[in-house]
């Protein structure tokens, strides 16, 4: 008959081993949806890449209000990647900054607004 301490250690060892295996299995199952979502996203991106880019005259034009870090570091660099949108106007309190960015982005000077006159964007039938 085994010693009670050996039986305790054996059952404790078995318990810890099974608990570890269960934890490892559980962590793997939580990763499966991530892989599936990642694959799904990749498929969606592939489908998006297969769609035709609209010609510039058919893209939806957007004004950008404010030229802070988010606009200059995130939004403006993303517009050339857009297939159905384009940046067509800027609104800024800094006229020199707006003019510089407009020149860099090919935006006509007539489509540069400030905070005092940016309500007049609504009177423009087509921003180009």
pLDDT computed for residue 9 by the predictor: 53
For the chain, report the end-to-end CA distance as a whole number of angstroms. 91
* Better pLDDT: 13 or 5: 13
Question: Does residue 116 surpass a pLDDT of 50?
Answer: yes
* Fold of the CATH domain 56-123: Rossmann fold (3.40.50)
69, containing H or E segment: helix 69-70
**Sequence spans of domains, the chain:** 1-51, 56-123
Model pLDDT for residues 68-115, shown as the tens digit of each residue: 999 999 999 999 998 888 999 999 999 999 999 999 999 999 999 999
């Amino acid at each position: 008959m085994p010693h009670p301490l050996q039986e305790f250690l054996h059952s404790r060892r078995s318990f810890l081993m099974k608990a570890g295996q269960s934890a490892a299995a559980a962590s793997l199952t939580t990763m499966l949806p991530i892989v599936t979502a990642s694959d799904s996203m990749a498929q969606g991106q592939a489908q998006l890449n297969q769609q035709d880019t609209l010609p510039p005259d058919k893209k939806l034009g957007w004004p950008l209000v404010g030229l802070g870090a988010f606009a200059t570091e995130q939004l403006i660099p993303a517009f050339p990647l857009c297939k159905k949108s384009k940046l067509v106007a800027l609104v800024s309190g800094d006229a020199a900054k707006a003019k510089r960015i407009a020149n860099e982005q090919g935006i006509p000077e007539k489509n540069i607004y400030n905070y005092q006159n940016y309500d007049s964007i609504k009177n423009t039938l087509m921003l180009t």
